[in-house]
């Protein structure tokens, strides 16, 4: 249940960060991007992938041969 809370709060933060970052880039550039929706999506996708890896990292596998606790010679 707490993952739902983490993902919800993360999504709100990511949305705000993406909007701020895109506006900052456009202001420094001096004009809006023609394909603004795609750039917004790309930034949000990258931040979402980072957030998911932080909240729920992929399990790590032990090195080969150490499953039983006995190392290979």
Residue 36 has pLDDT above 60, yes or no: yes
Dist. CA 50–CA 17, nearest whole Å: 13
**Residues 7, 55: contact at Cβ < 8 Å?**
yes
pTM, 2 dp = 0.72
Cβ neighbours around 14 below 10 Å, total: 19
Residue 31 DSSP code: S
Per-residue model confidence (pLDDT) at position 63? 63
Interval 37-69: pLDDT, tens: 999 999 999 999 999 999 888 888 766 655 655
Q: Which helix (H) or strand (E) holds 54?
A: helix 36-55
Taking the C-alpha atoms of residue 48 and residue 42, their distance in angstroms, rounded to an integer, is 10
What pLDDT was estimated at residue 16? Answer: 96
Look at residue 70 in the predicted model and tell me its pLDDT: 60
């Amino acid at each position: 249940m707490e993952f739902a809370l983490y993902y919800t709060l993360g999504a709100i933060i990511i949305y705000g960060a993406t909007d701020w970052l895109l506006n900052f880039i456009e202001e420094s550039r001096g004009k809006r991007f023609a394909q603004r929706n795609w750039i917004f999506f790309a930034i949000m996708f990258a931040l979402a992938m980072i957030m998911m890896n932080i909240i729920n990292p992929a399990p790590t596998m032990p090195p080969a041969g150490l499953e039983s606790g006995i190392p290979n010679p």
